[in-house]
Amino acid sequence: MADKRFFPSLGLLVTAIAVVIAWAVSQTGRWPLEWLRMQQFDSSGSEHPGPEIYMFSEDPVVVYVKDFISAQEAAHLVQLADGRFTPSPMWDNDGKPHIDKAYRHSMTAKLDRTDVIIKGIEKRAISFPFYKHFGDFMPIVVQNYGISGQYRDHYDWFDDVHAVGGNIASTFFVYIHANCTGGGTNFPRLTPPDDERWCEFIDCDRPFDEGVTFKPILGNAIYWENLHEDESGHKLTLHAGMPVTTGNKMGMNMWTWKVA
């Protein structure tokens, strides 16, 4: 597979991008739907469109990334996970796992972070201008949801950071297989946008009082920050993997661990 990297001068654009965004917010009071289209180069040096970044929320920070990974990368991740799945655990606030299939019904596989494709994806993730270097990525995992598979409302952060030695500061959730109906990622405490362009990514047919449900779309990702500045958990990040009604969904989690 061709090695892909972002435009080498991307870092020089961050300041200019921040100025443009600040101006847009001051004029409209809202974040622009399309924040930045990044460009990629393949191994031959040819330029082609890269991920599109959309700022959904400022507090908590929630960013949607279209085309975060390619279909070829997604297929590679699915292949890596094959044969490694075990029942997905629940995690207590003291960091102890247990199985509760009534609440979380899925399978989980840990991936080898030495894999060259995973290394490239991690490098791509930390190159985004919105990403904050709170710490290192935890072991990469894939969640496999078959029919009726779901994960009810939960947080990614822990209450007792001293018991676990830190906390999950931010989350990337990437759809690597989305041959399904249902299976959206619901944030019940986020306010749905009034811009219809978001309906490409969000299930706009769901009732307003159910919050925001992102559709499972192959290659796309949701990024959010789990903690306030004082490092307490942000309760608006409550989210759920909605039940899969037909087919199969797989998502890859990239969690950033911040040491206490």
Domain extents in the chain: 5-259
The answer on pLDDT for 2 being more than 60 is no
Q: Which two tokens stand for residue 253?
A: 């989690």
Q: Which two tokens stand for residue 85?
A: 């799945």
- Burial label for 13, CB within 10 Å (0-12, 13-18, 19+), is middle
The pLDDT, as a whole number, for residue 36 is 52
Confirm whether pTM is higher than 0.85: no
CA angle 3, 70, 169 (to 5 degrees): 95
Residue 58 phi, psi (nearest 5): -95, -30
Contact (CB, 8 A) for 53 and 63? yes
Q: Which two tokens stand for residue 96?
A: 């102890």
The answer on pLDDT for 242 being more than 50 is yes
Q: Which two tokens stand for residue 147?
A: 């029919």
Q: Percent of the chain having pLDDT more than 90? A: 76
pLDDT in tens, 3-49: 333 333 333 334 344 444 443 433 333 334 444 554 444 434 445 46
- Of 39 and 239, which is predicted with more confidence? 239
Contact (CB, 8 A) for 127 and 10? yes
pLDDT in tens, 87-146: 999 988 777 889 999 999 999 999 999 999 999 999 999 999 999 999 999 999 999 999
- CATH node for 5-259: 2.60.120.620
Q: Which two tokens stand for residue 3?
A: 């090695």
User: Confidence class of residue 226 from pLDDT cuts 50, 70 and 90?
Assistant: very high
CA angle 36, 37, 39 (to 5 degrees): 135
List, as one string, the DSSP characters of 222-246. EEEE-B-TTS-B-GGG-EEEPPEEE
The answer on pLDDT for 169 being more than 90 is yes
Q: Which two tokens stand for residue 241?
A: 């993997």
- Mean residue pLDDT across the chain: 85
The pLDDT, as a whole number, for residue 21 is 43
Distance CA 249, CA 149 (A): 9
pLDDT in tens, 45-92: 445 467 999 999 999 999 999 999 999 999 999 999 999 999 999 988
The pLDDT, as a whole number, for residue 43 is 39
Q: Percent of the chain having pLDDT more than 70? A: 81
